[in-house]
Structures are given as C-alpha cells and as structure tokens.
C-alpha cells in the first residue's frame, strides 16, 4: 500500500514535470528533501495525493523551491549631488576715468641774475706770534704792547681811565714817569705783577732797563717791607701810589725762566716715567748746591738773606746753571754767612724742591 502511494505520487510528479517542461525529474530523494524543507508531515501527503488541486499546489511549491532565489534589486543609489557651482564673481568695477590732465607747467621763471664775481680773496692771516714763555718777575716781556685804548678801567673824568687791577693792561705813572704795563701770566694770591712795556728808566743813569711793577689786588695793600729789601739790594727803581694803589717798580731779569721751562727739567722725565725718583732727586740736588751759592752772594754783598727759597721764587737760564732769586718780601738782615745759615738755606731748598707742594720729581710710571 505504501509502495502504491509512492508510485502514484511519482507518476503524478513525472506528469507534472512533463507537462510543465520541468528541467529535471524529481528523484525520491528530492521529494523527501522537499517534504523536509517545507516542513510537511508524512501523514499529510497521502491525504492530498489524489487531489489534483493539491497536486497543482504541490507542483507550484516544488517549482518555487527549485527556482533560484529572486534577486532583490538594490535600491537605486541616490545620485550624488554635484556641488553647486560658485556664482560667478561680480564683474570688477569699471576703471575710474583718467584724471584730468595736469595743468600745463608754468613757464620757467626768468633766469637769475648772474652771480656777482667773488670778492677778492682775503689776505692770508699773519702767522701767530710765538707764544711767550711763562713770564715772572724778571722773565721775558710779553709780545704785545698795550696802548691807552686797551685799558678797561672806568673813566676818571679827566679823559683817562682809572687804574683797575682786573684789566690785562693799564698805564702807570710814578715819579713823573708814565709807562704802559701788562699783566704777566702767573699771579700771586694778594699781589698783581705787571711787565713794564718798553722798560723803566734807571734812576742812577736814566737808561731804560727791564722792569716789573707790583701792586695789591685791593687798594691800600702795602709793599713797604719788600721795597726796603729791594732798595738794599739795588733792585728798586720806583715806588709810590697811583689811583689809590701802592706800587713798587724793580729791576727785571731778561732771558730767565722758571725751572719747569728749562732744558734741564726735560732730562728729569725719563727718571719720572720709570718711577726712578732717587735718580731724579739726585739730579735736582745738584741744582740745590747752585741755589745755596746764590743765597750766599746776597748775604756776603748786602747782609740780606732770602728766606723764601722755593721753585716759584727762582729764575734760571735755559740750561739751569745760573739761578736768580726774586720776590724779596720775606728777606731779613743776617750780617755774615755761617754754617748754620747755610744748613737752614739748604734744608729749605731741599724740602721745597723735593717734598713740598712745588716738588719737581713725580712718579709717572703708574
């Protein structure tokens, strides 16, 4: 029975395949597989086996099962939106119309008048006069001679100018002698020293001699003590008062200088540059001997001792071999020369030249 059912089923299936031109006959194993794939129970198959309707349904089911899976069409891809084109740039603004043509240039100004021919070249300046040596009492005279028009004092109502010690030049009248005077370069604290331009007449013979004049920086300053010693040493030429100022006029020395302006002083520089003060002082000591001898001359001749021996009160020739003592304001009478006087003079000269404020040797090596 069971075999019969299977045969009928096979016949039906074969007929179905033949009718519908199935691509291949259904084997029994395919049948069983289909039944298993559809999940149909075995007891359901015989129930509908004689039923054409069911056979048709079965046939359709088998065809559907054997048909290749339907290809599900993929959804059409959305077209990629093309980037929107940038709107075209605004057309550039039209160029500005060209500026108005510039006004025509003004006609050139009238040509300037031809330059005046150059003035005649000035005459070449005269070469400057040689600078004077530092003068002191007895030093060389300054190069220029002052005239009355160079005086700077106040007018005294008599057509002349009053004497003014601050002026570089003045006019001095003493004992009926009137001479122009000019200040020297170096001055003391309380006295003002002048060079008598053209010299002063010597009262003993009337001849013009080199002379200097001295007065105080303030009216009333007296030089009586110095005048006394100058008179005793034959150096005083005149003394008196002019426009309220006391004056003394005395012999000067020509061709003499301070020791710092001599050739001897230049020989001390190599020692000082090496810091060799002993050698420098040894050379100065030789000049101390000359100073002591000069002081002895005045004591032996006049009995007067110069008690203010220092570099500023001594003038020398260029080689520093012949000293001359000046500024006798502190001199004194001593009678005769002695060993004690010589020791005192030497001690003062050594201290002022080697140790004092005006010492000559300095260490220049540092």
The C-alpha torsion from 85 through 91 and 92 to 97, rounded to 10°, is 170
Give the pLDDT score at 2.
47
pTM score over 0.75: no
Looking at the predicted structure, is the pLDDT value of residue 362 above 60? yes
The residue assigned the tokens 């002081």 is 295
Is domain 259-354 given the CATH code 1.10.3210 in the classification?
no
Nearest-angstrom CA–CA distance, 111 and 165: 62
Nearest-angstrom CA–CA distance, 340 and 82: 133
Q: Label residue 260 by pLDDT band (50, 70, 90).
A: very high
Most confident of 78-92, 103-117, 183-197: 183-197
> Between 264 and 103, whose confidence is greater?
264
Q: Label residue 58 by pLDDT band (50, 70, 90).
A: low
Torsion sign, CA atoms 326, 332, 335, 338? negative
Nearest-angstrom CA–CA distance, 320 and 343: 22
Alpha-helical (H) ranges within the chain are 2-19, 28-38, 44-49, 52-66, 224-232, 263-266, 269-274, 277-302, 339-354
> 363 and 274 in contact (C-beta within 8 Å)?
no
pLDDT digits (tens, 9 = 90+) for 26-48: 444 454 555 555 554 444 444 44
% of the chain with per-residue pLDDT over 70: 56
Domain with CATH 1.10.510 in the chain: 259-354
Q: Which of the residue ranges 90-104, 208-222, 231-245 would you say has the lowest mean pLDDT?
A: 90-104
Nearest-angstrom CA–CA distance, 312 and 203: 28
Looking at the predicted structure, is the pLDDT value of residue 158 above 60? no
User: 148-251 has which fold?
Assistant: Phosphorylase Kinase; domain 1 (3.30.200)
Domain with CATH 3.30.200 in the chain: 148-251
Q: Label residue 217 by pLDDT band (50, 70, 90).
A: confident
pLDDT digits (tens, 9 = 90+) for 137-146: 444 444 444 4
pLDDT digits (tens, 9 = 90+) for 6-20: 555 666 666 666 555
Mean pLDDT calculated for residue range 294-316: 94
pLDDT digits (tens, 9 = 90+) for 314-333: 999 999 999 999 988 899 99
Mean pLDDT calculated for residue range 123-144: 42
């Amino acid at each position: 029975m069971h075999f019969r059912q299977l045969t009928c089923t096979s016949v039906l299936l074969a007929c179905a395949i033949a009718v519908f031109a199935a691509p291949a006959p259904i084997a029994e194993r395919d049948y069983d597989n289909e039944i298993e794939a559809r999940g149909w129970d075995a007891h359901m198959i015989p129930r509908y086996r004689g039923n054409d309707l069911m056979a048709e349904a079965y046939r359709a089911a088998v065809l559907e099962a054997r048909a290749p899976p339907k290809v599900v069409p993929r959804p059409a891809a959305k077209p990629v939106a093309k980037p929107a084109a940038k709107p075209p740039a605004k057309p550039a603004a039209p160029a500005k119309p060209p500026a108005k043509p510039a006004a025509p240039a003004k006609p050139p100004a009238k040509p300037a008048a031809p330059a005046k021919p150059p003035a005649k070249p000035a005459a070449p300046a005269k070469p400057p006069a040689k600078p004077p040596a530092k003068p002191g009492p007895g030093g060389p005279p300054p190069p220029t001679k002052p005239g009355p028009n160079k005086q700077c004092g106040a007018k005294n109502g008599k057509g002349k100018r009053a004497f003014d010690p601050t002026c570089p030049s003045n006019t001095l009248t003493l004992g009926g002698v009137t001479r122009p005077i000019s200040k020297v370069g170096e001055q003391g604290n309380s006295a003002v020293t002048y060079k008598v331009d053209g010299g002063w007449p010597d009262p003993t013979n009337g001849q013009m001699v080199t002379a200097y004049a001295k007065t105080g920086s303030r009216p009333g300053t007296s030089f009586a003590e110095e005048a006394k010693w100058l008179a005793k040493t034959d150096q005083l030429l005149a003394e008196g008062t002019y426009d309220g100022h006391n004056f003394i006029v005395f012999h000067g020395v020509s061709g003499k200088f301070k020791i710092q302006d001599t050739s001897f002083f230049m020989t001390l520089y190599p020692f000082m540059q090496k810091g060799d003060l002993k050698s420098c002082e040894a050379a100065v000591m030789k000049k101390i001997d000359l100073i002591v001898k000069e002081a002895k001359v005045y004591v032996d001749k006049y009995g007067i001792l110069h008690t203010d021996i220092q570099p500023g009160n001594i003038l020398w020739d260029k080689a520093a071999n012949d000293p001359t003592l000046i500024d006798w304001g502190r001199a004194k009478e001593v009678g005769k020369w002695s060993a004690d006087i010589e020791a005192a003079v030497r001690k003062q000269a050594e201290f002022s030249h080697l140790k004092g404020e005006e010492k000559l040797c300095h260490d220049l090596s540092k």
